[in-house]
Structure formats: C-alpha cells, structure tokens
Amino acid sequence: MSTGLPSVLIIDDNAARASIIEAGLRNAGHDRVTIIAEMHGIVAKIATLAPDVIVIDLENPNRDLLENAFQLTRAVKRPIAMFVDRSDNEAMQSAIDAGVSAYVVDGLRQERVKSILDMAISRFNAFSRLERELEEARGALEGRKIVDQAKGLIMASRNISEDAAYRLLRKTAMDQNRKIVEVAEGLVLSAGLLGSGGNGGTG
C-alpha cells in the first residue's frame, strides 16, 4: 500500500551509493523508489516512469557529465536534488541557473536524504509559483497596454475623454459578455488591419 509520499527516481551509476540514498528514503517511508544506473536515454525513461522527484548522484563529475545533468534538469521540469563529491563555484552557479532545486556537495548521508529531498520539493514549488506569478504579471501588463491603445483609438475617433472611452469599452465588453482586454484586442487588431490610426469621424 502506497504511503502517498512522492515517487523518487535515483540516477547513479554506483550501486553502493545509490543504495545509501534508497535506504534513507525507504527509512523515511518512501515506498516508490526506482534506481537507474546511467544517463543514456534518461529523458524517455523519465517520461515513462513519471517520478515526482529526481535524485542525481554524480561521483567526481566532469564538465560533460554535469552539463548533461543540467540539460536534463532544464528538460524535465521536476524537483531535482543533485549530490556531487566535489564542486566549484562555476559548477554550483550552473546548477542554480539550470534549475537544480538542491545541490549538495560531499553531503551524501543516509539520514540527510529525506530532508534534502523535502527541501528540493519546497524550493521547486516556490520557484514554480514565482514563475507563474511573473507570467501572470506580464500578461496583466500586456493587457493594460492593449486597453490603453484601444482607449486612444476611441478617444481619437469619437473625440471623447479617456474616462468616456474606457466606459464605452467596458459597456461593449458587458454587452458582448467578453473581457475588456478581448474587446480592446479586437479593436486594436481591426485598426491595424484597416491601416487607420483611429482617425474616423467624431460621432
């Protein structure tokens, strides 16, 4: 019977080291743990296994191995905890840039695995939330720009104030049961297609 804890994929070509991570997770109650020994074809395997969290353990990683791991991180969009025996500032910065949720240097201890995994999940969720909020903020800003453009077109074509132009936009949106930004987009698009700058009549 599953404990409801996240499923974990361990990527490690050293069976002894992988067993330390697995033991730490199973002791903490994780019952869905899979171990893969090599990076080759890993993206397809991840797609099949669909783990909630990935643990990558690299013994004395070289640059190519690290870059492969970072590419994987960017591709799979999941919490990733990475254990390395040794590192430098450049590799650590690259890990952060790639989106590695927890980058642990010389810290592979059975009793630490669970807390590091929890930290990786927490950081990943926080980062994902920030990304969503940023995307929403960008969308809102773009929407305001379009509404402002539409107001400008209405003001010019009808010779009315900004408030009156906005009220007209809002009324049109309500009448058509659409969002104001959708009505504004339609108006701006139409003006662009007609090649007008909104210099129609004043009525």
Q: 112-155 pLDDT, tens per residue?
A: 788 888 888 888 888 888 888 888 898 888 999 999 999 999 99
**CA-CA distances (angstroms) from residue 154 to 164, 180, 182, 194?**
9, 14, 15, 15
pLDDT at 107: 67
Q: Is residue 3 part of a domain?
A: no
CATH code for the domain of 171: 1.10.10.10
Phi, psi of 195 (to 5 degrees): 70, 20
| Domain closes at, from 93, 108, 123 | 108
| Domain closes at, from 92, 108, 124 | 108
Total residue count of the chain as it appears in this document: 203
Q: Is residue 30 part of a domain?
A: yes
- The closest alpha carbon to 111, from 5, 171, 27, 188, belongs to 27
pLDDT at 2: 55
Q: Is residue 80 part of a domain?
A: yes
Average pLDDT of 172-179? Answer: 91
pLDDT at 202: 38
Helix, strand or coil for residue 33?
Answer: strand
Answer whether residue 106 shows pLDDT above 60: yes
Do the beta carbons of residue 28 and residue 92 sit within 8 Å?
A: no
Asked whether residue 103 falls in the same domain as residue 35, the answer is yes
Count of the separate structural domains present in the chain = 2
pLDDT at 201: 42
Asked whether residue 97 falls in the same domain as residue 61, the answer is yes
Asked whether residue 188 falls in the same domain as residue 104, the answer is no
Band of pLDDT at residue 200, cut at 50, 70 and 90: very low
pLDDT at 152: 93
Q: Is residue 23 part of a domain?
A: yes
Selected residue with higher pLDDT from 198 and 72: 72
Residue ranges making up the domain that contains 166: 134-194
pLDDT at 167: 92
Token duo for residue 189: 């698009």
Query: Alpha-carbon Rg of the chain, whole angstroms?
Result: 26
Q: 42-58 pLDDT, tens per residue?
A: 888 888 888 889 888 87
Q: Is residue 183 part of a domain?
A: yes
Q: 57-95 pLDDT, tens per residue?
A: 877 666 777 777 778 777 788 888 888 877 778 878 888
Which of 15-24, 97-106, 178-187 holds the top average pLDDT?
178-187
Do the beta carbons of residue 57 and residue 10 sit within 8 Å?
A: yes
